[in-house]
């Protein structure tokens, strides 16, 4: 098992008002699985992904990544988790606008502790692996949406994570470009054995490519019939 989420709860607070975003969410992902999360806007999808990615902390419950409890990690261990265990991809790419593709990847390698001398070659390799060797010196504004997302994927892969977390990676792309990005993620999953957890609004694609589709309804996991599962 690469990921085990157990009775996870997350509430946000606006003053005294509690907003329960996740309620007793439990799920398992095996090594090498491709799992999709679907659900309406506001159902807690991004909240769940951000907790797994170590970007935010849970209110209660556990997240085990290869038997290590993320919820019990120190800040330093959490930083390691973000750098080496998972790679994140977002709808809006989140590349640094003033830096070229090469520089964006090099920066991730710097955080990953790759020595300066090796960075350029490593960055070029990973950019070529997503098919963008000819766009290495382009800045994000000089890339198409699909190309920018490929660079973001290259950045997510830079430090060889075991799992990629993707939050609506095709949300800003047209349908042709979307299916190219989905193909790339599927290839990473099948050829490199990277486990993938992807949020999508595209139910058809989710059921076509995933080992498992998880539906969130109001912060809880529902089965395919829409019933809320027991905690
Ligand atoms: N920082 C925050 N402070 C307060 N409430 C928040 C915060 N972030 C999210 N929420 C609330 O938590 C709930 C879940 O939000 P989340 O972003 O996880 O939804 P989502 O399923 O990703 O939606 P979408 O499909 O629109 O991206 C929503 O009701 C949202 O308003
Ligand atoms: Mg979201």
Helix, strand, coil shares of the chain as percentages rounded to 5?
40, 25, 35
- Which CATH fold would you assign to the domain 3-222? Rossmann fold (3.40.50)
Q: Where in the chain are the domains?
A: 3-222
Q: Which ligand is nearest to the CA of 10?
A: 1
Residue identifier of the C-alpha nearest atom 28 of ligand 1: 42
Residue 28 in tokens:
């398992």
Residue identifier of the C-alpha nearest atom 2 of ligand 1: 12
In order of 2, 58, 156, 157, the CA distances from 70 in angstroms are 12, 10, 19, 20
List CB contacts of 90: < 8 A, sequence separation 6 or more: 152, 167, 168, 169
| Residue 120 CA, ligand 1 centroid: distance in Å | 38
Predicted TM-score of the model (pTM): 0.94
> Residue 153: its pLDDT value, please?
97
> Residue 231: its pLDDT value, please?
46
> Residue 11: its pLDDT value, please?
98
| Residue 150 CA, ligand 2 centroid: distance in Å | 20
| Residue 138 CA, ligand 1 centroid: distance in Å | 33
Q: Which residues' Cβ are closer than 6 Å to ligand 1?
A: 12, 14, 19, 21, 39, 41-47
In a structure prediction context, what are the per-residue pLDDT tens digits for the chain, which is 231 residues long?
999 999 999 999 999 999 999 999 999 999 999 999 999 999 999 999 999 999 999 999 999 999 899 988 999 999 999 999 999 999 999 999 999 999 999 999 999 999 999 999 999 999 999 999 999 999 999 999 999 999 999 999 999 999 999 999 999 999 999 999 999 999 999 999 999 999 999 999 999 999 999 999 999 999 654 444 444
> Residue 229: its pLDDT value, please?
47
| Residue 197 CA, ligand 2 centroid: distance in Å | 13
SS3 state of residue 31: coil
Residue identifier of the C-alpha nearest atom 18 of ligand 1: 44
Which atom of ligand 1 is the closest one to the Cα of 39?
Answer: 21
pLDDT in tens, 122-135: 999 999 999 999 99
* Nearest alpha-carbon partner for 215 in 62, 5, 25: 25
């Amino acid at each position: 098992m690469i990921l085990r989420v157990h009775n996870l709860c997350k509430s946000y607070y606006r003053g005294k008002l509690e907003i329960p975003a996740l309620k007793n969410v439990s799920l398992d992902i095996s090594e090498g699985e491709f799992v999709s999360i679907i659900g309406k806007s506001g159902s807690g999808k991004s909240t769940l992904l951000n907790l797994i990615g170590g970007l935010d902390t849970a209110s209660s419950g556990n997240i085990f990544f290869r038997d290590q409890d993320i919820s019990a990690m120190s800040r330093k261990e959490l930083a390691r988790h973000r750098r080496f265990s998972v790679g994140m991809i977002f709808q809006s790419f989140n590349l640094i606008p003033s830096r070229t593709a090469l520089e964006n990847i090099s920066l991730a390698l710097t955080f990953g502790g790759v020595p300066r001398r090796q960075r350029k070659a490593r960055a070029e390799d990973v950019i070529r692996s997503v098919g963008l060797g000819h766009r290495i010196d382009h800045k994000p504004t000089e890339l198409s949406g699909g190309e920018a997302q490929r660079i973001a994927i290259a950045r997510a892969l830079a430090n060889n994570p075991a799992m990629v977390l993707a939050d609506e990676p095709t949300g800003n792309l047209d349908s042709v470009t979307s299916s190219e990005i989905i193909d790339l993620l599927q290839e990473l999953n099948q050829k490199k054995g990277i486990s993938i957890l992807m949020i999508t609004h595209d139910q058809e694609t989710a059921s076509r490519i995933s080992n498992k589709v998880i539906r969130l309804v109001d912060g809880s996991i529902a089965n395919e019939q829409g019933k809320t599962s027991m905690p």
